[in-house]
Amino acid sequence: FVLLIFGVYALGIHVPVPIPGIDPAAFEKMVQSNAYFNLINTIGGGGLKRISIFALGLNPYITASIIMQILGAAFPAIKKELREGGEYARRQQNKRIRSMTLALSFFQGWGILQIIKSTGAIPPQFQAIWVYFTVILFWTAGSMFLLWLGEQVSERGIGNGVSIMIFAGIIISFPSMVQVIYTSVSNGTI
């Protein structure tokens, strides 16, 4: 089952979201040269450099989980609810995290598009709001689908599904990381 989920993830990374006017090869070079994009790309299994539906990866979920942990530490009522609420409180917390993931997917997608726009990778004639909305919609759907896949792995009792999905993303991007390191060592950059 887990290998099937990995296969779905690996296939989804190769499903591009068409952004008019972007040259995929030039965009891939830009991602590799930008440290922030490179980190997102590595955690997401290379989805960002391919401009795939999984470009955001599970980053919105990770961010939402961290925010909820900080809120739990900052507000004793939330911490008490989780400690004393049992399974119901845990389900409610997961609902909040999923809702926050949905919102953060939108904002992180918008932010990444703005950074891409600032590099000049998107020509002005293709900077229409409907283009941005469509790309953000695909990225949000992809991120939520990855979260759902992770939850399916968790429900099967194999482990923490989201952590396994993050692991899969890193493993999928491992060959390209080795290639970048090899090229950097060959060039004398490292």
The answer to whether residue 99 scores a pLDDT higher than 90 is yes
pLDDT digits (tens, 9 = 90+) for 59-85: 999 999 999 989 888 888 888 888 888
Tokens for 3, please give them: 């290998």
| Strands (DSSP E) found in the chain | none
CA distance 114 to 190: 31
Q: Is the dihedral of CA 48, 170, 65, 88 positive or negative?
A: positive
Phi (first) and psi of residue 18, to 5 degrees: -70, 115
Global pTM reads 0.84
Residue pair 139/55 in contact by the 8 Å Cβ criterion: yes
**Contacts of 83 by beta carbon, 8 Å cutoff, 6+ apart:** none
Q: What is the pLDDT of residue 31?
A: 81
